[in-house]
Amino acid sequence: MTVNVHKARGPFAPLPMRLVLIQKPPDVAARARASAQRASRKDQRHRTHPLTLEAADHLILITSLPREAFPIERLGALYRLRWQVELAFKRMKSLLRIDRLPAKSDALASAWLHAHLLFALLVEASAGETGDFPP
């Protein structure tokens, strides 16, 4: 479905976007519904809203990618790939503390961040070579 996204402030024109719903596999949808119900109980609600349960059956994306070049199947694959990138950055933030930038200037911050990213790549490459080993 085509939608227009409006910026909250400023005289910007609305951005034409695409709202895409991708049906989740039944087992994944069941876990998402159960998670939504647990969240409702945690928030001390008596019932989970039926629309919340219906939404849990789908992956909901908004994109500016054109429909012709990026059909739904391709969007799903891109989203899974993007999610892997997000998880990699989360790991680096946790293990390498790249979310705590000690540098004050742009040049020092860039050098610090590049050094840590290079270190992460070297560690990952060497870990792949050695296989599993005890600590």
Q: What is the per-residue pLDDT for 31?
A: 94
How far apart CA 20 and CA 3 sit, in angstroms, is 10
Distance CA 20, CA 50 (A): 20
pLDDT confidence of residue 17: 92
Q: Where in the chain are the domains?
A: 2-88, 96-135
Q: Which residues contact 29 (CB under 8 A, 6 or more apart)?
A: 23, 56, 57, 58
Angstrom CA distances, 34 to 47, 56, 113, stand at 12, 9, 39
Task: Give residue for tokens 């719903």.
Answer: 21
Instruction: Provide mean pLDDT across the span 1-13.
Output: 83
Q: Cβ(15)–Cβ(4) under 8 Å? A: yes
Number of Cβ within a 10 Å radius of residue 56: 20
Which of 97 and 54 is assigned the larger pLDDT?
A: 54
Q: Using one digit for the tens of pLDDT, what is the confidence trace for 68-107?
A: 999 988 988 898 899 898 988 888 888 878 778 787 889 9
**How far is the C-alpha of 2 from the C-alpha of 4, rounded, in Å?**
7
Express each pLDDT in 11-48 by its tens digit: 788 888 999 999 999 999 999 999 988 888 777 777 88
Q: For residue 128, is pLDDT > 70?
A: no
